[in-house]
Chain A
């Protein structure tokens, strides 16, 4: 099939960037979206033009590297699907597509469709862990975890850190990402000792980064390729309030 692409090209953080139009005369419906971009790039290189940069690695929907705005939707039109798992059979001959990078103050553009998501790592570094040194763990079956609790924690833990939640949020807020990690660890018995400290530090770091604030648009949940629920945001907010009284280190 034939497609027309409008692709965001930007040489680097200093460049103001522009939309460039490309005609794709022969797209196979069985291709993945990224294979379609590969095809575009092979053609560009042969013509002596620099290929479009985009992040990707696993191409299986699990590493969280890929992710572009397709016609204004993070990861495109299909629910629960990363860009790499989207296939061209969901488009039809003659379609025109607009492809842009995540747009968020906290995720500056590196080049073309590639953005810098290091702010996410800094949130985890602030407290998204259990402080257990290698070797000091007790036997794994010493602490039973009720299956429903484990399953709920798992639902939060499936976050792939792609940034679609931030990209889709009109405010560019990172609440869904942060709450997924806060809840994953906060639900499990292993995460209790640091529960209050963790939520305070992670939220503080999130607020120090250039993310916006959450005003309950719920767009994040709809855009999340892993179906992370906004219930976790409510849970994080509750924990955050309680932490002011529970965390002995809290000074406010």
Chain B
């Protein structure tokens, strides 16, 4: 299979402009002849649906929540980057581009990243015009902060609720189009297959989650904006419903899945407190600006924090990385915490955690200053743990948070299946092996507002006059029957274990073998064990209720089945990538000081996997990466 990324020619800062000129256009009167299916109503899906409808296309938008406003994007806290340079501190489109390529550890596509940095400025304009209440200074102008170790202040934020406010902006634009009838919204509807006819994406099969009814929807193009797959680990910071099903169904129909092993583990989350734990809560990274991270020097030290004298504490990040200290990047902070726990120096009742201590900051700046900065976070911590972080140090531990991997897309955000697009966290595009803080919101909205609405026209223009495929077509019928059989099969197993108990087991397996650090033996064991576990699931899961009603266990069972297959591919990819880069740390490939060691000579490519069927070895396709503008270098935080 030939992987053509379709990167336009010319100097990097002219590529997008040239491309926009070269692409075919659909004239305004013809736009209404096209129906576009958008699966997902998060930042990417809502912004794309609204914009496509404004342009005149007929849009059908789907989400599994009861309202599009509840998509997982709502939970993003910290902020959104844009190269506005409002602070006059030396930011520019090129600097944001540079930081993103470097932050991604030289595993992303330069052309895509540059375009992202270019359109970032338009996102802020658009959001403000919609009424998104970003933080402001007393001058009435927009405020910015520095985020995730960036040397410039380019992050726009809305208290600790940036995702909520941006999503409400996109949701409002979507609601306006639903009101005009240009978008038909299908909430509580799950996409369960995609229909490919003569190699083109032509529609989807959905299940109405209230009535259980299966439905066929034809479209001239299908856009997947269905988010990331962190929930393969069961415990993550993602919303409970986040899943890989839409993307995986596409992979099963031939769409390539790129870099599945690039997952991001966020260092500052509240540790799990027991076996009943259902999800993990992120605490803003900004806490590391004032908190000091430490563990006892002695393994197995059972004393409470206050009784461990200063001389017996190990501020391990400050010790190992004098220049960056507690502000090292996410992956470095996460891995070091894991090492402490592995050395039996973890803290708290489960011993799986490290301290984040504000005592010195409170001593220096006063309790009031700390409260003003982090009051809401401290309150959230206390609400969840029942402990007061003003008087005793917080306990934190890393948790799966974001997935850089996703469907392979070309420069137009189209997958290798013509007519099938992937946007937002669902694609693999812009973050390489590691995403910078505040860049996911930027990418989702860039894709949805400013990239896809242009590039999709180029595809549709070539299909003018073809008309929609009939949903009576044999391919629709076969796909619907497939979904029906699968549902019946899951309900018919009638075993002894719950869906969640299997999901927890899969999650633990992935976390232990394909989590913060990975090695060959562990990955091989996981690749062998995952299909066995899936088989146990298929023989022993218990899903009650019927297919023709609201049935949350059935929803979960279908999603978990797809997670099993994805998990296997993720471990394959991690096994195959015999280097360390960004969020992917292979223990065999590290420097003498234990830092990630890239192998540009052999692994400077995108790994795009072709699923060959259950139990078959997937086929690897490589898209080589070239770095013309940002020369690969080794990261150092010493």
CB within 8 Å of B: which residues of A? 11-12, 28-32, 34-35, 38-39, 42, 45-46, 48-51, 53, 55-60, 62-65, 81, 85, 87, 89, 110-111, 114, 116-118, 120-121, 124-141, 143-147, 150, 153-154, 157-158, 160-161, 184-185, 188, 190-191
Contacts and interface: CB of A to CB of B under 8 A. Distances in A.
A188 B135 CA distance: 13
A62 B69 CA distance: 11
Given A57-B65, A58-B72, A140-B125, A87 B386 contact: yes
Contacts of A42: 498, 500-501
A188 B131 CA distance: 7
A63 B239 contact: yes
B131 A63 contact: no
Given A32-B384, A141-B142, 4 more contacts: A58-B75, A64-B74, A135-B122, A160-B164
A226 to B, nearest CB: 10
Contacts of A49: 544
A124 B210 CA distance: 23
Contacts of B69: 64, 121, 124, 161
Contacts of A154: 133, 158-159, 165
Interface string B521-551: 0000000000000000000001011000110
B137 A147 contact: yes
Contacts of B449: 134-135
Interface stretch (B169-177, B459-467, B484-492): B169-177
Interface string B125-145: 111111101111111111000
A141 B177 CA distance: 27
A132 B67 contact: no
Contacts of B72: 57-58, 63
B70 A63 contact: yes
Contacts of B500: 38, 42
Given A51-B544, A117-B66, A147-B138, A60 B75 contact: yes
Interface centre among A32, A39, A85, A138 (most CB of B within 10 A): A32
B187 A50 contact: no
29 contacts: A28-B276, A30-B386, A35-B276, A50-B545, A51-B552, A57-B65, A57-B240, A58-B75, A60-B281, A63-B65, A64-B74, A110-B210, A110-B550, A121-B178, A124-B69, A129-B131, A130-B172, A132-B129, A133-B51, A133-B54, A134-B47, A134-B50, A134-B173, A135-B122, A141-B86, A147-B140, A150-B140, A157-B133, A188-B131
A124 B171 CA distance: 9
Given A28-B274, A146-B140, A161-B67, A184 B553 contact: no
B133 A32 contact: no
B129 A81 contact: no
A126 B152 CA distance: 41
Contacts of A184: 131, 133
Contact of A45 (B140, B179, B544): B544
A164 to B, nearest CB: 15
B122 A190 contact: no
Interface string B374-409: 000000000111100000000000000000000000
A118 B124 contact: no
Contact of A56 (B136, B240, B274): B240
B450 interface: yes
A132 B130 contact: yes
Contacts of A131: 176
B65 A65 contact: yes
A12 B549 contact: yes
A157 B132 CA distance: 9
B241 interface: yes
A62 B542 CA distance: 31
Given A30-B386, A38-B278, A57-B72, A129 B173 contact: yes
A81 B50 contact: no
Nearest to A48: B544
B32 interface: no
B173 A137 contact: no
A89 B386 contact: yes
Contacts of B279: 59
Nearest to B140: A144
Contacts of B553: 45, 51
Contacts of B277: 35
A152 to B, nearest CB: 9
B432 to A, nearest CB: 27
